[in-house]
Amino acid sequence: MKNILVLCTGNSCRSQIAEGYLQYFAGDKAKVYSAGIETHGVNPKAIQVMAEDHINISHHTSNNVDEYISIPFDYVITVCDNAKENCPYLPGNFKRFHFNFPDPAKAQGTPQEIMDEFRRVRDMVKVYSKDFVSEHLPV
């Protein structure tokens, strides 16, 4: 079983969504963790848009990357440029990946436009996660 860490700035939206999808697609092939270089709490809109796609992340917590320093990760995926540039030292021999997803928490507009942005980012993360599992965790 592989250990995957998804790292973002605040561990509230993008990394939480990625953790949900990566765990869903990986099944028992991986244990997926998400963390932030800060903790901002899990965004309720992220929970909502994932529930719309039948993925329950309501039990997720917002964690600081330092909490996982002793876990031997195989893969570390940064999902925003800030996390990539400010990632603290993590011990171990793991492969790094990076994709800068837009931050849906910064969306502006009507409540509908904001939720549409959360859904758009969710769908981007879903495709990335499915492709990542297919490529790096083969059957």
CATH number for the domain that contains residue 45: 3.40.50.2300
pLDDT at 99: 94
Active-site residue list: 8, 80, 87
pLDDT at 91: 77
Return mean pLDDT, the chain: 93
Can you give the residue range of the structural domain that contains 88?
2-136
Query: What percent of the chain clears pLDDT 90, i.e. is strictly above it?
Result: 81
Give the residue-averaged pLDDT of 94-121: 95
What does the alpha-carbon distance between residue 51 and residue 48 come to, in Å, rounded to a whole number? Answer: 5
pLDDT category of residue 14 using cuts at 50, 70 and 90: very high
Give the residue-averaged pLDDT of 88-105: 88
pLDDT in tens, 66-75: 999 899 999 9
CB 107 within 8 A of CB 114: yes
pLDDT at 86 over 80: no
The count of domains in the chain is 1
What does the alpha-carbon distance between residue 110 and residue 131 come to, in Å, rounded to a whole number? Answer: 32
CB 136 within 8 A of CB 25: no
Closest CA to 1 of 34, 33, 29: 29
Which DSSP helix (H) or strand (E) runs through 78?
strand 75-78
CB 36 within 8 A of CB 66: no
What does the alpha-carbon distance between residue 84 and residue 123 come to, in Å, rounded to a whole number? Answer: 22
pLDDT at 130 over 80: yes
pLDDT in tens, 32-80: 999 998 888 999 999 999 999 999 999 999 999 999 989 999 999 999 8
